[in-house]
Amino acid sequence: MALTGIQIFKLLPKTNCKECGEPTCLAFAMKLAAGKAELASCPYVSDEAKEQLSEASAPPIRGVVIGTGDNSIKVGEELVLYRHEKTFVNPTAIAILIEDSMSDDEIKGKIDQLNNNTYERVGLILKAHLAALRCKSGDAAKFKALVEKVSGMTSDGLILISDSADVIKEAVSVCADKKPLICGATKDTADAFAAIAKESKVPVAIKGSIDDVIEITQKMTAAGIKDIVIDADEASYKDTIKNQIIIRRAALKKKFRPLGFPTISFACDMTDDKLFETTLAAGLINKYAGIVVVSEIDPPSVLALTVNRMNIYTDPQRPMVMDQGVYEFNNPDANSPLLITTNFALTYFIVSAEIEASRVPAWLLIMDTEGMSVLTAWSAGKFVADAMAPFVLKSGISDKLGHKNIIIPGYVAQLSGEFQEELGSEWEVAVGPREAGDIPKYLRKLAGI
């Protein structure tokens, strides 16, 4: 439960030494309460106060890091139920399932998918982030061998899955430095898993009904284990989603600590149909899973899941934008037509998809309008003749063209005259279609196809 400034003040030394940078301890306490200062700035705070305060100021859902270095990934720390309230924080980590019963070829295929199926979109890298290794054989030595093998094949983080703490203990011994997530303790195995988590300093996933989960996290927290992930999957998808909602709500609305942890969900175990599985995994991204384990990350699945994740986790207040500049489609040359539009990513995606579909080689100028769409940017004075003309002239596009014709979106037909004037008489401004869907027809007609 968050403390008030006065409550925090009572725990401070009250010496007004100013070493924290604030004039008084009370001022510092107020800033702490508002989340605008770090307790570490006070050199004299007692250990007891530290503990009480860090407990109180911890995020309602703990952030858990899996893996180390550049390839580590953090899940949790979410603050809202609906994405329009505030940006979702740490995007769902997608994990590919690998079992020790698989052949070497199969394993290599899965790891290749993990390492290679990487895409770029609006400057973001889209990929899966974890290898989830499951002991199916029940043979600790066999599983350990798999873990060693996979550790050498990818620098991505690992999840180690077995019901047996002994199997996990063996496996962790060869990869503890990679900070794998060990998975999954039940009520019966909680103590044994907790011992491994503590000794090897690795995060631990626990599973069971909501009541079991509460019991286990309380026990583990009391034992000093903080990095916990909850597996609350149920036999039905409906109940799995229900648990996800309950966990998020309890943590955020009730500040209920025993459920204040990120979750893991196994889409891979929900069906044998891949299309179905990927769709269920997408739903788990929407409804709060911190980690989703899937059985396949072939290119279509990675694209669909990571684009969905990007869409759901994008900032609802700030539009995605493209870099300003010249974009090429279908290998344009000096005679290819030139179009111009704004840098709202959605505008770009739609316009670029249509130009590409037209098969007509073309140039597209993307102008920085602070992520506004054509009409909005026009009415805000960002996509107007006296801003567009200097951009076009300085863009360097003239060097690439053997003509000086430029096509503007149909929705801003009214600025064509002024734009023409600003560009100078050697340029010719044409008005393109209003809707992007009509671009292919327009371009094909222009190209005489």
Partner 1 sequence: MAFDIPKETYSGAIREVIIGEGDKAVTIGGQNAMTLCGFEGEFPNRPKIAMEVYDERPENWAEAVMEPFADVIDDPVKWALKNVNEYGAQIICLQLSSTDPNTKDTSPDAAAQLAKSIAQAISVPLVVYGSGNVEKDVAVLKKVAEVCEGKNLLLGPVVEENYRQIGAAAIAFKHCIAAQTPIDVNMAKQLNILLENLGVPPDKIVIDPSTGALGYGIEYSYSVMERDRLAALSQNDAKMQMPIICDMGKEAWKARESKIPLDEEPTYGDITKRGLLWETVTAMDLLMAGADILVMRHPKSVDVIKKIINDMF
Judged by beta carbon, residue 304 or residue 447, the one nearer partner 1 is 304
Among 91, 180, 208, 258, binds partner 1 (CB under 8 A): 258
Site for partner 1 in 158-197 (CB under 8 A): none
Best CA proximity match to 277, nearest among 265, 285, 268 = 268
Question: In angstroms, rounded to a whole number, what is the distance separating the alpha carbons of residues 197 and 101?
Answer: 26
> What does 80-108 look like in DSSP terms, one character per residue?
-SSTTTS---SPPEEEEEEETTS-HHHHH
Q: Find out whether 151 and 179 touch, Cβ atoms under 8 Å.
A: no
Question: Is there binding between residue 276 and partner 1 (CB under 8 A)?
Answer: yes
Number of CB atoms found within 10 A of residue 392's CB: 20
Question: E strand or H helix at 172, and its extent?
Answer: helix 165-172
- Joined together, the tokens standing for residue 65 give 């890091």
Judged by beta carbon, residue 30 or residue 372, the one nearer partner 1 is 372
Question: Is there binding between residue 245 and partner 1 (CB under 8 A)?
Answer: yes
Question: Is there binding between residue 241 and partner 1 (CB under 8 A)?
Answer: yes
Q: Name the minimum Å distance from CB 287 to partner 1.
A: 7
Binding segment toward partner 1, per CB under 8 A, in 102-110, 361-369, 422-430, 437-445: 437-445
Any residues with CB less than 8 A from the CB of 57 and at least 6 apart, and which? 2, 3, 32, 35, 39
Cα 219 to chain centroid distance, Å, stands at 31
Binding segment toward partner 1, per CB under 8 A, in 98-106, 301-309, 400-408, 421-429: 301-309
Among 211, 272, 399, 426, binds partner 1 (CB under 8 A): 211
Best CA proximity match to 283, nearest among 324, 238, 216 = 238
Among 74, 86, 108, 121, binds partner 1 (CB under 8 A): 121
Q: Name the minimum Å distance from CB 236 to partner 1.
A: 6
Question: Is there binding between residue 112 and partner 1 (CB under 8 A)?
Answer: no
Question: Is there binding between residue 119 and partner 1 (CB under 8 A)?
Answer: yes
Site for partner 1 in 67-96 (CB under 8 A): 82-84
Number of CB atoms found within 10 A of residue 380's CB: 12
Among 123, 300, 390, 417, binds partner 1 (CB under 8 A): 300
Pairing of the two strands 73-75 and 64-66: antiparallel
Binding segment toward partner 1, per CB under 8 A, in 71-79, 242-250, 407-415, 422-430: 242-250
Among 106, 234, 323, 438, binds partner 1 (CB under 8 A): 438
Q: Which x/- pattern, by CB under 8 A, does the window 305-334 give for partner 1?
A: x-xx-xxx-x-x------------------
Q: Find out whether 45 and 23 touch, Cβ atoms under 8 Å.
A: no
Q: Find out whether 441 and 419 touch, Cβ atoms under 8 Å.
A: no
Query: Helices 439-446 and 345-358, interaxial angle, to 10°?
Result: 50
Question: Is there binding between residue 290 and partner 1 (CB under 8 A)?
Answer: no
Q: Name the minimum Å distance from CB 274 to partner 1.
A: 8
Cα 176 to chain centroid distance, Å, stands at 25
Which DSSP letter does residue 243 get?
Answer: H
Site for partner 1 in 336-375 (CB under 8 A): 346, 349-350, 352-353, 356-357
Any residues with CB less than 8 A from the CB of 249 and at least 6 apart, and which? 81
Q: Name the minimum Å distance from CB 437 to partner 1.
A: 8
**What are the backbone dihedrals phi and psi of residue 187, each rounded to the nearest 5 degrees, phi first?**
-55, -40
Residues at the site binding partner 1, with contacts judged by CB under 8 A: 82-84, 117, 119, 121, 210-211, 214, 218, 236-238, 241-242, 245-246, 249-250, 253-254, 256, 258, 273, 275-276, 278-280, 282-283, 286-287, 298-301, 303-305, 307-308, 310-312, 314, 316, 346, 349-350, 352-353, 356-357, 437-438, 440
